[in-house]
Amino acid sequence: MRLECFPTTSRPPRLVPGRPERDWMDAFAARHPYRCLPLTMANTTGWELLCPFGFEAEWNGGLDAAAIRFRADEPDALLDHLVVSHFTHGVVTFHLGWLFRTPPGWALRASGSPNRAKHGIAPLEGLIETDWLPYPFTMNWRFTAPGKVRFEKDEPFCFIQPVQHHRIEAFEPVGAALSDDSDLSRQYELWKEVRADFNARMAGGDPAAMKQAWQRYYFRGEFPDAAEARPDGHVNKRRLAALPETALPAPPLPRLNAPAIDYRSDPVGQLRKD
């Protein structure tokens, strides 16, 4: 399948596969969080859009567009081609520089990069029907308190992830007793026994357990019952295609001086209509 990426500016931000590394994960002893496969899979299941230059944003707490001021690190940076105060109310709006097109039935979920917290500002998430949309959308962040925040050069400001959004409506949550599934119940009880034994041996300083350090059943796609075959399709490393580093034609854009609008009157929310 194809994720079609149409540049809307001559120098669009770089689009790269999501990367597993996080500073806070690196700071842990023995980089312990990287043992959590759900974390690293979430970090890499999508593509990041990177800031082409560093800049600072400052919000004074006001609700109008002028309440947020921006300062770029580079004097010749086209700052308002990347980031503006557009929706007011402490919201910072990024222009992606791309128009995306997905296959029929697929949308793009736009969010902040997973498991990457930023003090003072939080990413807003949107689901965009990019299988028909003929215009770009924006990525928005909202200040959580007045003050200054920085986005560094090559820091991700948007994370896009294809989603078959219509398919989710086919799911129906149902309740069931674990005992209704004898094999699942057996595997669960065995896992509890093995887990409790391992934790007890770790707490007691058992040399074999200390050397093992952590159990790898989920990471390896294994059952506690060694007789069970590994599940088909288990993935412990995401390998997404990168956008080729080729020159792409793009129409020239004027400098953006769009008036601020009340985001509450925008029925699409994340979308930019000008």
pLDDT in tens, 192-240: 888 888 889 888 988 888 878 877 888 888 887 777 787 888 888 889 9
Q: How many domains does the chain have?
A: 2
How far CA 257 is from CA of 82, 86, 106, 260, in Å, comes to: 12, 9, 32, 9
At a CB cut-off of 8 Å and minimum separation 6, what does 151 contact? 51, 54, 55, 57, 83, 157
Task: Output the CA angle 271-114-86, nearest 5 degrees.
Answer: 30
In-domain check, residue 270 = no
In-domain check, residue 208 = yes
Is residue 224 domain-shared with residue 249, that is, in the same domain? no
State the CATH number of the domain containing residue 92. 2.70.40.10
In-domain check, residue 136 = yes
What is the SS3 assignment for 207?
A: helix
Is residue 64 domain-shared with residue 157, that is, in the same domain? yes
In-domain check, residue 174 = no
- Structural domain harbouring 101: 4-168+244-265
In this prediction, residues 23-47 reach a mean pLDDT of 94
In-domain check, residue 16 = yes
Is residue 149 domain-shared with residue 195, that is, in the same domain? no
Report how far apart the first and last C-alpha atoms of the chain are (Å, whole number).
Answer: 30
* Amino acid at residue number 31: R
* Of the ranges 78-87, 123-132, 197-206, 261-270, the best mean pLDDT one: 123-132
Is residue 157 domain-shared with residue 203, that is, in the same domain? no
What is the SS3 assignment for 183?
A: helix
How far CA 119 is from CA of 21, 149, 151, 215, in Å, comes to: 18, 8, 11, 33
